[in-house]
Structure 1
């Protein structure tokens, strides 16, 4: 083999070695890139899991806030009976003294109150139920008495009245006329008022002997 051929042969070997070194370097760079991509993928996966968890937490928080707002709105929409007063009348429709109701002289009770202003409550017809509770806890049933659902219970009522409510202060009077076979008891009585299945107010008053 001539010197020229040897030089050409060695040159080819050097070229191959140079090419191999370049390929090794390229492979090393590709491995580094793959490693970085794998790390970035893991980071993105972790971030995705974190965002998913945060989204679930936010969704749960939003649901809780909505439920709480709904409860607050429902509570705010409940009507309130204000300035509840009790008047007593004898057989001649003469009003008894407010400070001394006497059992033997009462033939009629008049329950006066106002439904307070409430812009959140729905306007329209409302049935107001009145319960007259005796000292022993018995509910007096009048001629218009019956039963209704309120506070998750089936309750007796003494009288009721349908009222048109327009979100403004609305005066209401509900009467109870004593049946011939009924005598008022001596002691502390309570008037309870209900609307939309909720207790909206009460008043305690005494009847003397």
Structure 2
């Protein structure tokens, strides 16, 4: 039974060890009450229909149902539930997507401390937001990448190709990865060099690092 001012929480992560770790970190925190846990994200909606909670802590990278899709579904069905995303990395584009589509209240990396996690949950429960420092920095880098790509009028596909070029993929390999023809890859490469005012692969990779495209 919930005590007054307790925060009721459900955790979903496809690794039980992560769930066990979170439970262990906060087991003596009387303000937080873990109501439900599951390693199967497809079970979250049925669980919430049976037992309402204040907050969902969700992993982001789950094969059965990715955390960004789960967060969106939960927010559509239960808009009052606050969502905290946990991940091994704070990939800027994904964080922005979850903010825009699921109105998440926080995003943290799994290397968080017990103190930081408790602070985040309490702040979110009070109606605030909490994004860890690493995630905020990645969001800033993502915004810079977007800004520079827009200034150069680079498309998402062109940036994708730049990243593959940096990994030393040749035209044939890029074509296979992206399911396009080698001729199309060659056209993209010419357009990329023109837009970035570079003439060699080394120059292009230098440009990409300088403007944080990769």
Per the normalisation by structure 1, the TM-score is 0.19
Q: Please say which structure displays the higher CA radius of gyration.
A: 1
Per the normalisation by structure 2, the TM-score is 0.19
